Structure 1
Amino acid sequence: MKKAKQIDVTREEVTEGESEARSRDGARNNVRKIREALLMSKAELARKAGLSALTIDRIESGYDCRVDTKRKIILALGLKLTDKDKVFAGPKPESEE
């Protein structure tokens, strides 16, 4: 019977990897700024959007999400879908050199 390889990873390496993935893949957004301007808690936004508070926390931290999730958040914030660029910025254009 073969033994599975054991991989030793420290908590710091995992956290570092998560932040690198977040900065690479996660789009920065204005969800937290808009939510706080509306004096709305994460729990309230999550309830209105039909999402978990953990999902809201991840999105506010910069993780990307599905289009349907973005739609739910925009509507829960009381905005129109045409305001999506105010909430979720698109990808930054690459600099031309």
Structure 2
Amino acid sequence: MLGGTRELLDTEHKELLKAIRRQQRQLDTRRESLTEVAADRLRMHPQHEAKLRRITHRSGVALARLQEKRAIVERRLAANVPGICFGTRKLLDQ
């Protein structure tokens, strides 16, 4: 049972790393576009620029959330016994 849980955590860790790399690439591309707009090399409609700023901010927030999830999974993997529980919280308390 513990082996299966550890294997699932390994799989989740790999998927999170992939998602983090993808999100980081998107964020870098959007930030590059914003620097081009700021340097006046790229002209955008003000509404499109505002949308790009919002999307860039949300991408940064999503990246931070993914990194936090990765840290949690890494802590669980580093522990000798990954946390599992059978039944309800009431049974756990007993």
TM-score (normalizing by structure 1): 0.23
Richer in helix (by share): 2
Work out which structure has the larger RCO, using CA pairs closer than 8 Å and 6 or more positions apart in sequence: 2
Q: Which has the larger radius of gyration?
A: 2
